[in-house]
Structure 1
Amino acid sequence: MVFMRRAVLLGMVAIVSALAWTGAYRLTAFTWVVAAELEGATALAELTPRPQTTIVYDRHGQPAFTFFVEQRIDVTLDQVSPVMVQALLAVEDQRFFNHNGLDAVRIGAAAWRNIRARRIIQGGSTITQQLARAAHLSPKRTFERKLREAMIASRLEQRYSKREILEAYLNTVYFGEGLYGVEAASRGYFGKSASDLQVEEAALLAAIVRAPSHDAPGVSRARAKARRNLVLRLMRGQGNLPEADFTAAAARPLPGVTRPGDLAGGSDPTDAVGAYFREELRRQLVAQFGNERVLRGGLRVYSTYDPVLQKAAEQAIVGRITQIAKARRQAKDLQGSLVSMDAHTGDVFALVGGRDFASSSFNRATQAKRQAGSAFKPILYAAALERGYSPATILTSLDSPIGTASETWLPDGEHEASQYTIRRALQVSSNRAAAQLMQQVGTTTTIYYAQRLGIKTSLPVVPSLALGTGEVTLVELTAAYTAFANRGTASAPRLFTRVEGSDGVALFHNTERHTRALSEETAYMMSSMLADVISGGTATGVRAAGFKLPAAGKTGTTDDYSDAWFIGYTPQVVTGVWFGLDTPAPIMARGFGGTVAVPAWATFMKAATVGHKAEWFEMPAGVEKVAICRLSGARAGPSCQHQYIPADVPVGMVGTKGTMAAGYPAPIQGLPPSEPSVYEEIFSVGALSSELCPLHSPQPSYGGIWSDSIASVTQPASTTPLVDAELRRAGVRVERVTGTDGISRVVIRQKHP
């Protein structure tokens, strides 16, 4: 018996010892856990910056786009409506200013409910605890998380003031629909700043905080309204809302249409207007600042975007595609792009990269490289003017093949003749004139000027470059035309002007970039010639479409009608348009740029130039307008108004037997009204000889035998095939001869009957 008692006693001692050691171990472990939690809470109790939304403002200073990981815009407590603070405290933490992070009353009530339910169904968390959870902890309800939450909250209360904690909470908490913080929520749901919230709006936001995935208006409008009215009753009960105001606020319906996806003024997020502009801007910002800073840094970007013109641009492109697709079902996959920019600053107002960003984000305005066709020719003609040519320079023998390294080449075209002035060749878009002109100017010279005008794409050194076989992007070709509209200075395209941090401090100024690409005289002469393209050339559709302001531009069409271009401008706005299929194929039968692209350009430009005056470029001092005799191509004298060679002008005549005798040609008759005997042309000052027309100007009478009458001129004669025929019928032949001194002269001959 004694042995049995001793054994039981020893067993009991062993058990008690084991329990004691186990308890001691667990107590020690718990102490270490608490100590570790306290240490972790101290480290976590930091109000660190949260990801901020980058806001893009349009050219008028209004929010347009956002870039973000979390849609959040931090504000100070002073920038939040007082009714928002009252509503939040009424429903989430009535004793916020009276506790030290933990509310014993709420904790006791919550504990009793949890014990009865045998699980955690109510947290009793204060705003400080909610901030700790939102910033650092999992939302899963466990006793361990509640312990950590309480410790972090205690540390936060020790480290920060109540105002700092409340401000951090308002900027951190999630309000549903991807909106973080009260400012983002206010803009997203109501399209206004948090400082402007009305009491019923503040009550709705405070109501959402508890369970945004359950109580947000987008989930259940009935629950959202019920929760909102609960908050209003609590505010009334706490003396923060008079009865009359409560009744009025509770009776108001929820906003008819909430648009929580957009912080840029509350526009419909399903409206994809500006998507191509936004994406191109994002790419440029990421290249400048990095992806992390753009998506999390809360930048303030001031862009050149014009929402009205952007919408007009997209409507012009999509509308034209729809029209063409109705006539040609194969064109259902037709794409189009548009770039419109300020001629002087390079600011891009509108950018369209395709018919639908949701279907294809590939930007055909900035990324697609396509052959420009005749839209490239102005670059060639500008290079010629820079090298001393003038609009009146005649290009002859245009029906003669051009020799290349491997074969001869004679391009085809819609408007070809044996000779053209440079002005007329550009107006009708003669391929043969362009090809010959490049032979004279030089391919490398043309490429040099293309680079000066802003063409960065590599161009092929081939004769066909004159016809636009080099591939370029729409944005760089459009920017090249700014030199014509900006007195010879090319303006680089610019999508934003400056970037600030979330604190308003300037981080980057995107200054205008200009290059003196051409002389002012060349730019003016090019604008004069390109205006003829619209008034009587390949772009007369501009006027047919109802665009009335003075303008200039050039169409472009590639082989098989695969690409249709039109780049045109007024003194203020330069706009380029392109149409084609992503895999080059004919757009439509005879789908010229003037047919396909011009209507869309005119439609957009009517919207882009509303309120603009009908003004044109002022002639620079280095350019003069000269009256030219159509028969001789020289400066016109008073007698050139008549359509014949007067009798007092002796002309050398070649006799039938080789003898020379004095005589006068018969009158020249039959010039049509459309071909007046005198016309005006512009030249660089000093480029044209001061000598008057040798056919009509009075000359001293020498009598006797005359040799050929030769007049020195620095510009070739500018006769037409019709006038040449009339001269031949009268027995007069006008020849252009270049002497060994390099001077071009007119030689007039007549056979003696």
Structure 2
Amino acid sequence: MNKIKYILAKRWKRISIFLVLFLFYFFSLPKQLFKDPTSTVLLSNTNELLGATIADDGQWRFPELDSVPFKFKNCVLQFEDAHFYRHFGFNPISIGKAFFENRRAKRIVRGGSTITQQVIRLSRKNKKRTYTEKLKELILATRLEFRYSKEKILNLYSSHAPFGGNVVGLEMAAWRYYGLRPEQLSWAESATLAVLPNAPSLIYPGKNQINLKNKRDRLLQKLYKKEIIDSITYILAIEEELPQKPHLLPSLAPHFLHELKKKHSGEKVISSVDYFLQKQVNDLAKQHYQLMRQNEVHNLAALVLDVETRKVLAYVGNSPTDTKHQKDVNNVISPRSTGSTLKPFLFAHMLESGDLLPTQLVKDIPTDIAGYIPKNFDLNYDGAVPANEALTRSLNIPAVRLLRKYGLQKFLQDLKDYDMQYINKSADYYGLSLVLGGAEASLWDLSKVFAGYASTVNHYEDLKHRYYQNEFQEPKYLKEDQIDYGRISEESNRIDAGSAYLTLNTLTEVNRPLSDQAWKYYDSSQKIAWKTGTSFGNKDAWAIGTTSKYVVGVWVGNSDGEGRPDVTGVGSAAPFMFKIFDILPKSKWFLEPFEDLIEEEVCQESGYLALPICPKVKKRISRNGVRAKSCPHHKEIQLDATESYRVNSNCYPINQMKTKTWFTLSPLAAYFYKQKNPDYTKIPDYLEGCNVTEKNVIDFIFPTKFKSKLSLTKGNDGELNPVILKLTHTNPNAKIFWYLDDEFIKQTVDYHELPVKPSVGEHVITVIDDSGNEFKRILIIQ
């Protein structure tokens, strides 16, 4: 012990110096050798390159390689450092040879650096090649050998070596000069790239091509002599041409790439995108763009989702247009007017709540709600129409009336529960136009909701009639991402499986574009639940569809918001959507969730719960459908012996009366309904002498509102145009007596229309039929 103390005391200076030198050596190498920004690289789910962005410093520099391909590895070792696996960072023999040759030439004519030393030099930004700098490189090279394996050092070299111009690293060089992945390179191609870092300027087309070929061929010859390649490979390799022009990088999903860069800048990202599907959808997008641009429609978007994994399979953010037409706008995530795309969600929630049955008649008549007057796309009225048909035909008036019945605030909350990013304002802001395009949503959000509906139905049977609590989630775009549907419960927290299924099944009946009208007659066709939407002014055309496996969403329009004639969901977006479905694997239709539906008798004509007097059919409806209203359109009436007139006990013998059930609508609804349903028969008139005063025998077609404000317009002759008053009566033979401010104007029979030119101010219109029924309307002329 005393001896050790004596030695330490005697040699403490040497030990201290050694420790200082050791610590200096140990910490001389930075923890991170390379801090250069790298490109954001997007790969498909099979590692195919979809696109990349240039690094922030203007260099094309991909993130570091995981491994160096066999061919390039052998080429670079034979060219740069044949003893790479036998030295510890430097090669004394190579250094000695370089020293004497450079001294003899009085300039640097040969380098003695190993690959390890070159990695150090690259990390130090290629400082001036002096002997002092060489010494530093040598020391740091040995330190690097302590830190990393040989394979890691070779990866660093291959990833950071210069390959001419602003191309850095093997992977980028392979794409830039050959349009291939590094592992796809031939021996000749690998040899060409292996000699480039030694003289990067040789790669420029037409410049130093002979020198580059000579260097490549000498390397190939060395590989042959070392028996790394055989004679046939050598002969074929030296015959290969050098790259003549740079290749463009693949750019299959540029908008997806730029969106992804926000969270993964400088990373190599393996996405969920299917490479071949993306290429096919791109081709379809290009073809569709060529058609649409003839109508000066320049932009589109498409999104394909896997229902089960909720992963993005294809992502087209825009058409292949130009800068003038906003080619850089990502229309997958941009907010656009929803048009009619929200109608299925209202239909589903009303089914779930019991406020609606699938075939229940809903009114389609002129409607004025506090000054809001919705119109159907074709400006016509059906009077009354089954709810499912109103949805498949995308009728606006029934949708607005249903929304008012269901509750605007309630429906708005349903939409917010789906996490639709841009539906974030108050009910007062949207009003009843919410369901007709008064809100904005993105293709991303609408597609994910459709996926949630499809997934809810799929999982209901898989979970033995239960629900995941997180069915409605953001789509995943990374290959490694796995969706977490959350815990399982007995009740749904968004939409039940029965209502979702009935809605999706209804949407299969939407009339397809003309080219697909005969789809039902082909065995190869598949059922697709789909909905279109067209925003006000023909600015946005939507088509979103789902099967049990896939969701396809399409938007077509102009990114700057310019509307164009004939831009509609059916004509502009749907054909593109169906072409995408055609290239996807066929899917079986959903299994019907029998346990979440009940069978009830409903009125065959009205779709309401059947009364005993109704002609009835059995239908499967949502569980809460039993809360729905019983049929209000059938009633029993008494007829005379000939069944031509209605009678009552006051005017006709009871024993001669015949009782019948009659389907009847309100006068206004009946007026439009019978125009499209010629078999509709109005309720018979009373036999003379049996007249009674009835309610709801008269209904105004215009004005429908009790108190209306109007402005008289002028014609081409400068004269004021009249206001056309119009009404309907249950008795087509009834006489109507018209009064303006209690002054009789005219009597009408059969056709009840009356033009009037009231003066500015408030006026009372009174009508009285020949049975004494009286109705009034107030007109305020401005």
The structure-2 alpha-carbon separation of the partners of 1:336 and 1:106, relative to structure 1 and needing over 3 Å to count, comes to same
Q: Tell me which residue corresponds to 2:475.
A: 494
The within-5 A match list for 1:429-508 is: 429-457=394-422, 458-459=424-425, 460-487=429-456, 490-497=471-478, 499=480
Distance 1:408 1:55 in 2: 51
Aligned equivalent of 2:589:
615
CA distance change for structure 1 residues 137 and 274 in 2, over 3 Å: closer, same or farther? closer
- Partner SS state of residue 313, structure 2: strand
Q: Which of the residues 212, 218, 233 maps onto 1:224?
A: 212
- 2:202 aligns to what? 214
Match of residue 498, structure 2, among 501, 521, 524: 521
Equivalent-residue separation in structure 2 for 1:572 and 1:336 (angstroms): 23
What TM-score, normalized to structure 2?
A: 0.66
Contact 1:567 1:576 (8 Å CA) reproduced: yes
CA distance in 2, matches of 1:141, 1:355: 51
- 1:30 corresponds in structure 2 to none
Q: What is residue 568 of structure 1 aligned with on the other side?
A: 545
Q: Secondary structure at the match of 2:129?
A: coil
Aligned residue for 1:352? 316
User: Is this contact kept in 2: 1:351–1:365, CA < 8 A?
Assistant: no
How many angstroms does 1:205 deviate by?
3.4
The DSSP-based 3-state class of the residue aligned with 2:215 is helix
Question: Which of the pair is proportionally richer in helix?
Answer: 1
CA distance in 1 between counterparts of 2:272 and 2:84 reads 46
CA drift at 1:478: 2.0
Q: Aligned in 2, Cα 1:632/1:516: closer, same or farther, shift over 3 Å? A: closer
CA–CA distance in structure 1, aligned partners of residues 180 and 472 of structure 2: 36
Q: Could you tell me which of 234, 246, 250 is aligned with 2:222?
A: 234
Q: Secondary structure at the match of 1:138?
A: coil
Confirm or deny that 1:313 pairs with 2:313: no
Structure 1 contact 88–206 (Cα < 8 Å) conserved: yes
Question: Are 1:597 and 2:582 an aligned pair?
Answer: no
In the alignment, is the contact (CA less than 8 A) between 1:481 and 1:574 conserved in 2?
yes
Change (3 A) 1:601 1:156: closer
Measured against aligned partners, the alpha-carbon deviations of 1:207-234 in whole angstroms (never above 9, x if no partner) come to 2231123247897654433211111233
SS at structure 2 position matched to 1:683: strand
CA distance change for structure 1 residues 559 and 534 in 2, over 3 Å: closer, same or farther? same
Cα distance in 1 for partners of 2:376, 2:146 equals: 85
Report what 1:391 is aligned to.
358
In the alignment, which residue of structure 1 is the partner of 2:121? 133
| Cα distance change of structure 1 residues 568 and 730 upon mapping to structure 2, 3 Å threshold | farther
Partner of 1:265: none
Q: Which residue of 2 aligns with 1:726?
A: 681
1:368-447 correspondence to structure 2 within 5 Å: 368-388=334-354, 389-396=356-363, 398-403=365-370, 407=371, 409-414=373-378, 415-447=380-412
* Distance in 1 between residues matched to 2:366 and 2:148, nearest whole Å: 87
Q: 2:544 is paired with a residue of what secondary structure?
A: strand
Where 2:563 maps in the other structure, the secondary structure is coil
Distance in 2 of aligned mates of 1:255 and 1:394: 74
Residue 416 of structure 1, CA deviation? 2.2
- Alpha-carbon offset, residue 470 of structure 1: 0.8
Instruction: Please give the secondary structure, in 1, of the residue aligned with 2:410.
Output: helix
Q: Does 1:280 align with 2:259?
A: yes
Number of residue-to-residue matches in the alignment: 618
Distance in 2 between the 1:710 and 1:736 partners? Answer: 21
CA distance in 1, matches of 2:350, 2:150: 74
Post-superposition CA distance 1:558-605 (Å, at most 9, x none): 222122112222232222211222232222x23322121111112222
1-structure distance, mates of 2:156, 2:336: 52
Give the secondary-structure state (helix, strand or coil) at the position aligned to 1:339.
Answer: strand
RMSD over equivalenced CA pairs, Å: 4.9
Aligned to 2:557: 580
Residue deviations 1:271-319, cap 9 Å, x none?
A: 4212222233333x43xxxx4xxx25x6xx4432122332333333332
CA distance in structure 1 between the aligned counterparts of 2:609 and 2:118, rounded to whole angstroms: 90
Q: Given the superposition, is the C-alpha separation of residues 367 and 380 from structure 1 closer, same or farther in structure 2, using an over 3 Å criterion?
A: same
Change (3 A) 1:555 1:411: same
SS of equivalent to 2:683: helix
| CA displacement at 1:428 relative to structure 2 | 2.3
Q: Tell me the distance in 1 between the aligned counterparts of 2:606 and 2:138.
A: 101
Greater shift, 375-384 or 107-116, is seen at 107-116
User: Quick check: 88-97 or 423-432, which moved more?
Assistant: 88-97
* Alpha carbons 1:347, 1:493 under 8 Å: kept: no
Asked if structure 2 preserves the Cα contact closer than 8 Å seen for 1:563 and 1:578, the reply is yes
Q: Equivalent residue of 1:585, what SS?
A: coil
2:605 paired residue number: 630
- Residue 108 of structure 2 is aligned to residue 120 of structure 1: yes
2:510 alignment partner, SS class: helix
1:554 equivalent to 2:523? Answer no
Does the 8 Å CA contact 2:374/2:396 hold for their aligned counterparts? no
AA aligned opposite 2:254: A
Indicate conservation of the 8 Å contact 2:39/2:52, yes or no. Answer: yes
Q: CA deviation at 1:484?
A: 3.7
Alignment correspondent of 2:300: 336
Structure 1 pair 153–400 and aligned structure 2 pair: CA distance change class (3 A): closer
User: For residues 229 and 501 of structure 2, what CA distance do their matches in structure 1 show?
Assistant: 72
SS of alignment partner, residue 599 of structure 2 = strand
The equivalent of 2:508 in structure 1 is 531
Tell me the SS of whatever aligns to 1:281: helix
Output the amino acid matched with 1:372: T
Counterpart in the other structure of 1:244: 231
Unaligned stretches of 5+ residues in structure 2: 1-19, 56-60, 458-467, 637-648, 697-729, 734-782
Change (3 A) 1:219 1:442: farther
Q: CA 1:725–1:251 in structure 2 vs 1: closer, same or farther (change >3 Å)?
A: closer
Shift of 1:128: 3.8
Report if aligned partners of 1:277, 1:350 keep a CA contact under 8 Å in 2.
Answer: no
Residues of 2 paired with 1:110 and 1:363: CA distance? 56
Bigger Cα displacement from structure 2, 508-517 vs 704-713? 704-713
Distance 2:629 2:500 in 1: 22
| Contact 2:205-2:244 at 8 Å conserved across structures | no
| Alignment-derived partner of residue 79 in structure 2 | 91
Q: Is the 8 A contact 2:179 2:248 kept in 1?
A: no
Tell me the CA shift for residue 723 of structure 1.
6.4
Q: Structure 1 residue 443: deviation in Å?
A: 0.7
